[in-house]
Chain A
Amino acid sequence: MNAEVELVGTFAEEEECVHAVEVLKRHAIAFRVFSPIPSEHLVHAIGRGLSPVRAFVLMGGIAGVLTGLAITVGTSWEWNLVAGGKPVVSLPPFIIIMFELMILFGGLSAAASFFLFARLPQFDPTPGWSERFGADRFGVAVKCAEDDSARIEALMREAGAEDVAHEDPRVRELVAH
Chain B
Amino acid sequence: MSRMRTRGCGSWSLTEPVAKLANYRITMSAHPQTAVPKAPAMIPGAEGIRTPMALVAVCVILVLIGVAGFVAGVMTETEPHAWQAFLVNFLFFFGVAQGGVMISGAFYLTQARWGGPGAYRLAESFYVFIPVAFILFWVLFFGRAELWPWVTRPVAKNPTWLNTPFFFAREGFCLLALTMLDWWFIRVSQRVDVRQWALSNDNITMPPTAIRRIAPALALTYAAVMSLIAFDLIMSLAPQWKSTLFGAFFFAGAFWSGIVAMALTAVVLRGRLGAGNLFTRDAIMHDLGKFTFAFSVFWAYTLFAQYIVIWYGDIPAETFFLVVRGALIDGPAGFSIYTPWMIPTWTVPLLVWVIPFVVLMGVKPKKTPAILGTVAFLGLIGMWLERYVLVVPSITPRYVPFNWIELAVTLGFLGIFGLCAIPGMKLTIAAAMAPQVLEAAEK
**Which residues of A come within 8 Å of B, CB atoms?**
50, 84-86, 92-93, 95-96
Contact = CB atoms under 8 A, between A and B. Distances in A.
B314 A92 contact: no
A92 B311 contact: yes
Contacts of A85: 314
Contact of B307 (A50, A84, A86, A92): A92
Contacts of A84: 312
B235 to A, nearest CB: 22
B275 interface: no
B363 A92 contact: no
Nearest to B311: A92
- Chain B interface size, as a band, is under 10
Contacts of B363: 50
B314 A93 contact: no
B308 interface: yes
Contacts of B311: 92
Candidate in A50, A92, A93 with the most chain B CB atoms within 10 angstroms: A92
Nearest to A84: B312
A92 B305 CA distance: 11
A85 B363 CA distance: 44
A35 to B, nearest CB: 21
Contacts of A95: 304
Contacts of A50: 363
Nearest to B363: A50
User: Which 7 A-B pairs have CB atoms at the shortest separation, nearest pair first?
Assistant: A92-B311, A92-B308, A85-B314, A92-B307, A50-B363, A93-B308, A92-B312
A86 B312 CA distance: 8
A50 B362 CA distance: 12
12 contacts: A50-B363, A84-B312, A85-B314, A86-B312, A92-B307, A92-B308, A92-B311, A92-B312, A93-B308, A93-B312, A95-B304, A96-B308
Contacts of A93: 308, 312
A105 to B, nearest CB: 16
Nearest to A85: B314
A50 to B, nearest CB: 7
A44 to B, nearest CB: 11
Interface in B69-122: none
Nearest to B364: A50
Interface string B299-334: 000001001100110100000000000000000000
Contacts of B314: 85
Candidate in B307, B312, B363 with the most chain A CB atoms within 10 angstroms: B312
Contacts of A92: 307-308, 311-312
A78 to B, nearest CB: 23
Contacts of B312: 84, 86, 92-93
Contacts of B308: 92-93, 96
Interface in B335-366: 363
B51 to A, nearest CB: 42
B287 to A, nearest CB: 15
B102 to A, nearest CB: 28
Given A85-B314, A86-B312, A96-B308, 9 more contacts: A50-B363, A84-B312, A92-B307, A92-B308, A92-B311, A92-B312, A93-B308, A93-B312, A95-B304
Contacts of A96: 308
A86 B311 CA distance: 9
Nearest to A86: B312
A84 B311 CA distance: 12
A110 to B, nearest CB: 15
Interface in B353-387: 363
Nearest to B310: A92
A171 B311 CA distance: 69
B82 to A, nearest CB: 37
